[in-house]
Structure 1
Amino acid sequence: MEGFYFFIGGFILIFIFGNIFIYFLNKNKHKRFFNFIRDRKYDIIRDVETEIEAYSKLGAKISYRKDDVIFLDDEIFIISSNKSIIQLTKSQENFRGIFYKYSYDLKQKVKERLEIKNSNGSIKVYLNLKNTGFDLENYLKKDI
């Protein structure tokens, strides 16, 4: 019976140290990313309500959270404090610290939210930019 408690305690310790390792790994990726773009002009918006719908052959995943969003030319980066950076792009440029990279075909305004999706329907991202002070109309006009 005592071995069972050691097993459970060891499992809990591995879980805790694994989460600490992932946290510091993501912090390091964020630092490398910001060092890579520091000389470029970008807009950062903090605490944006984000809804991400990802579809694959295995199923669907929908996540809601508050993230920081960076707009850099045609690139959009979604940065969560405890997850990897997501890049939404139309280009082939590679950025340091990016784990997920998705191409998109369409950006449009839908009820004060920015909707981003690709033609095959594998990903849809909704960014609620209401009350953030970000000029969504002007941003979308630059894209035309």
Structure 2
Amino acid sequence: MKSPSLLSRKIYVTCTLFVTALLSLFAGISAAKEADLSGATGGISLAVFSRLSPIEINTIHSWEIVLSDANGPISGATLEIVGGMPEHNHGMPTQPQITEELAPGRYLLEGVRFHMPGLWRMTASISTTKTQGRPPSVVVIDFTL
């Protein structure tokens, strides 16, 4: 019996690695955590992943914010996040700040604190290299604690 050629072995190994990579990718997607909050505007999607789960009243915590568009993660963006309670006409007791970009399109927001239950509104103003010279894109997310 003739042994497989070097070329056929390379093709087999390449196909096996490709299928393994695809299976790993799909397994990662199905196991990925669902965003705690999300919103979109003008082709930009914003997803919030709280580092405190569930979100508690009067506990300072951090959020990871993921920005993406049709081309994938949005890196190098400038984000300004403000929050408040529209029914009470007041803001947050803290001023959360983006402190770093953890990975392409993934930003760390520190200093998040909600001091009472009720309807909250978070507004993200997003400036990217594509929006230079134009007003920032704005994503508004309403949620209840």
Q: Could you tell me the TM-score, scaled by structure 2's length? A: 0.35
Higher relative contact order (CA 8 A, sep 6+): 2
Structure with more helix by fraction = 1
TM normalised by structure 1 equals 0.35
